[in-house]
Amino acid sequence: MTDTLTLRRPDDWHLHLRDGAMMEAVLPETARHFARAIVMPNLVPPVVTGAEAAAYRERILKANPGRGTFEPLMTLYLTEATDPEDVAAAHASGLVKAVKLYPAGATTNSASGVRDFDKVRPVLEKMAEIGLPLCTHGEVVTPEVDIFDREAVFIDTVLDPIRRKTPGLRVVMEHITTKDGVDYVSAQGDDMGGTITTHHLVINRNHILVGGIKPHYYCLPVAKRETHRLALVAAATSGDAHFFLGTDSAPHLDHDKESSCGCAGCFTATNTMSILAEVFEREGKLENLEKFTSVNGPNFYRLPLNEATITLRKGAPVTYPAKIDSANGPVTVFDPQMPLHWSVDA
């Protein structure tokens, strides 16, 4: 029986680090296990220009606890006013690794997102030309569309039309939550990738709604029914090169989540690797864990694989703190509601 697993150091292809006191609190949780992360630009105000991304990167490096092994991969927040030349320059300098599309109003801090997709055509065309990936928050926000259907409708009405109109554009469908997303992404060529979060491999919508409302399981896209979770587990553990880890670890203060209008986001940076090892082992697919966490992502982004490694060990269940502290209050760590037998060597 395998009880030690050494992997190339993992990367997180979708992460919210926030800023200021929250960043100070959450950055060590990611830097402990991960070599690199695609850092989401949905600050208030958002990270729109190359200059803003460079300044944010400096703040992250300054807050990094010192080991110097963690590399933030910066992204730009696509708005209808984004300048294609600024994007191209930020890419050419090596600073920016992706541009993020939020449909306006889809999720936390997305008010500056895109309403009219024709307005961003010049940016998308420039990105296709230079090979810069577009990361998509794959949900429509039309009020008529049921929240559980928003992802499937996004594929048909936004994602597929954008890809058809912009040949060569490399696109990541982020935090896939449905079988529809899995089926779409897996049927495309190598210009299409899909990230899957840790929590969507573990929870379905019952976790949010049964036995009382559970705000710490509420995130966007919202978890769907069990058939979808099973499709996500099958995709993540398959080894298929389209799929890689993007935790979407999204910290909010407890009092902002435990509220009459609670924020969306699960904070999974702390225990992600233990949870993933458990999920992959249950599927009998531990041999594919490294592809999901450490190989498929860099290959999609055309970045080198990490040479450093981490080692996971199987033993008595490991526990993680229920919360981490920030200067402004506690942040609850995602509880997978199952014993975790794999610990990560420090």
Annotated active-site residue 86? The verdict is no
Catalytic member of 240, 248, 325, 335? 248
How many C-beta atoms surround the C-beta of residue 22 within 10 A? 19
User: Could you tell me the sign of the dihedral formed by the alpha carbons of 302, 172, 60, 293, in that order?
Assistant: negative
Q: Which residues pair with 309 in a beta bridge?
A: 8
| Interatomic CA distance for residues 154 and 172, integer angstroms | 13
By CB under 5 A, the residues from 244 to 263 that bind Zn ion are 248
Q: Find the shortest distance in angstroms from Cβ 256 to Zn ion.
A: 16
Measured in residues, the chain has a length of: 346
220 contact choice in Zn ion, ligand NCD, none (CB below 5 to 8 Å, kind-dependent)? ligand NCD
- Residue 252 contacts residue 265 (beta carbons within 8 Å): yes
Q: Give the nearer residue to Zn ion in terms of CB position, either 102 or 342.
A: 102
Q: Find the shortest distance in angstroms from Cβ 247 to ligand NCD.
A: 10
- Residue 63 contacts residue 27 (beta carbons within 8 Å): yes
265 contact choice in Zn ion, ligand NCD, none (CB below 5 to 8 Å, kind-dependent)? ligand NCD
Does 139 help bind Zn ion (rule: CB under 5 A)? no
Residue 76 has, within 13 A of its CA and on its CB side, a CA count of: 31
| Interatomic CA distance for residues 284 and 268, integer angstroms | 23
Judged by DSSP in three states, 77 sits in strand
The residue nearest Zn ion at its CB is: 248
Q: Find the shortest distance in angstroms from Cβ 18 to ligand NCD.
A: 8
Find out whether 269 is annotated in a ligand binding site: no
Footprint of ligand NCD (CB under 6 A): 16, 42, 107-108, 137, 219-220, 248, 250, 264-265
Q: Which residues make up each annotated binding site for substrate? A: 16-18, 42, 137, 220, 252, 264
Q: Which residues make up each annotated binding site? A: 14, 16-18, 42, 100, 137, 175, 220, 248, 252, 264
Site residues for Zn ion per CB under 5 A: 248
Q: Report, as residue numbers or ranges, the catalytic residues.
A: 248
